[in-house]
Structure 1
Amino acid sequence: MEIKDIQNLIKFVAKSGASEVKLEMEDIKITIRTGKHDKGETTVIQQMPAMAAAPQPAAPAAPASEAAPAAPASNDADDSKYVTIKSPIIGTFYRKPAPDKPMFVEVGSSVGVGDTLCVIEAMKLFNEIESEVSGKIVKILVDDASPVEFDQPLFLVDPS
């Protein structure tokens, strides 16, 4: 199953109104849970090999419900002049390449097209997320080591 298939499945489940969907295939097991909260809707995904000895913890669900509603709270009038860089995949957002390495970017950092801004871990693979524009990082919208969803805003960049 490819990332695109998983993303389509999540969208379908969100639109259907189902509270939980479990999918088991030969090599993976996926559980998608949706929960209605007063600030919005959260989708939690757990993915693990079907033959894994230790199940993955469900603890990342709490940061997702706290981090996701925080992004829309930003002021649209002030942010309209900025370019929003969004997550192309579902996974865990990391601001540095390794725990002992410095952050890729900070607020105020100048970036060029193709510069690495962060990595997102999905299915044990670390995907580098590159800048689509040149400019200055104005805001980082996600906390380090937080789960992110497809198309979730990650950074605001001032292209001027």
Structure 2
Amino acid sequence: MTVARWAADRCAHADSGGAAQPHLTWKAPTRRRCAWYLSQDPDQIDAEARLFLGHLFAQAPELATVADLAKRFVSLLSGSDIAELDEWITQAANSELKSFANGIARDIDAVRAAITTSWTTSPVEGQISRIKAIKRQMYGRASYPLLRRRVLLAA
């Protein structure tokens, strides 16, 4: 949302007779590409992207803060150190990630459990998808006993 706000302010400034903006000779990156740039270490992106990010951060300094907070959150998820989570929530609550931080704070026990436990439902996701597909095929056509029999026979 910060990039969109910056772009809208810039367009409004140009339309209101402000100083002439230089004509850009390069194509602006897509939103997905911008998100990728923001999530990467500056050493992993090319010079043109670093220049773009430098200009973007100069125009919207809060975006640099949000990018840093997002990177820190990803590192929190991949580690098992939940001591930094409370500090991260406090810092994010004072940024553009306020809504996200409030959502995490509301369900803090589940977030802590997700960070500290290594349990996952990945091994059974395929089975769940298969059963849901069978259920959708039979919806409104048969009774529960027939659905149960079909699921068990397909296993």
TM over 0.5: no
Larger RCO of the pair (alpha carbons < 8 Å, separation 6+): 1
Normalised by the shorter chain, which TM-score bucket? under 0.3
Structure with bigger helix share is 2
Q: What TM-score do you get using the length of structure 2 for normalisation? A: 0.23
Q: What TM-score do you get using the length of structure 1 for normalisation? A: 0.22
Larger radius of gyration: 2
